[in-house]
Chains A and B, each alone.
Chain A
């Protein structure tokens, strides 16, 4: 039969507030993690990455935290803006498996002006 589309988890924040998007990854052997932003009708765009030997990495307005003990990744966006509204995906990679990325389900971020 036909598959039914799932509803993405949604996070709604006020403009100017900080946003935290969470992700549970699946493989404890993953070496590398990336956050992508996907706007409607477009392909995913790279935001920030982190290697498994790190637990925190900061970019411009974004921070990624990695907790390997519980296989958890988070993306923090400071001073969220309307242009940040999109679907955010985490992805994991094992380097010696052809560089292929495995994506999580995604979280829809909605920023209210």
Chain B
């Protein structure tokens, strides 16, 4: 089925550990995004990639890095996880400048202890 696939779905890390969240889309979208969602809050943009080969910071980029590996894949890396990064992470993709066309993955629930 066409869509956005995120892996893993769940992850528990110890403080200081590193990990990479994977995201892939098969809709040939140009733009991809990483958001985090904390309890009782909306989604906040971490990083985005308007097109293959470009990445830009969003609202809350500190503590994260991203890689737009190719048009399909956009990964989010936590180099040294902190408890404040406990959250649900959503990847999304879209046609350029098309909010209607945003498709979200089902999320990765990350707990840092």
A98 touches B56 (CB 8 A): yes
Question: How many residues on B have C-beta within 8 angstroms of the other chain's C-beta atoms?
Answer: 32
Known: A5-B38, A89-B43. A99 touches B83 (CB 8 A): no
| CB-based contact B38/A46 at 8 Å | no
- A18 and B102 CA atoms in complex are apart in Å by 27
CA distance A5 to B58 in the complex (A): 21
Identify which of B38, B42, B59, B107 contacts A43 (C-beta below 8 A).
Answer: B107
Q: Is the CB of A93 within 8 A of B45?
A: no
- Which of these binds chain A: B63-71, B73-81, B89-97? B89-97
A42 CA to B4 CA, complexed, in Å: 12
B98 surroundings in chain A (CB, below 8 A): 99
At the interface, yes or no: A105 with Cβ under 8 Å from chain B? yes
CB atoms of B105 and A8 under 8 A apart: no
| Minimal beta-carbon separation of A52 from chain B (angstroms) | 12
Taking a contact as CB atoms under 8 Å apart, the answer to whether B45 and A99 are in contact is no
Contact partners of A100 in chain B: CB under 8 A: 33, 45, 48, 58
Q: A43-B104, A43-B106, A49-B99 are in contact. Are A6 and B40 (CB under 8 A)?
A: yes
Residue from A8, A42, A98, A106 within 8 A of B106 (CB atoms): A42
Query: Which of A7, A91, A93 interacts with B40 by CB under 8 Å?
Result: A7
How far does the Cβ of B102 sit from chain A's closest Cβ, in whole Å? Answer: 7
Residues of chain B touching chain A, judged by Cβ–Cβ distance below 8 Å, are 4, 31, 33, 35, 38-45, 48, 50, 56, 58-59, 83-84, 90, 92, 94, 96-100, 102, 104-107
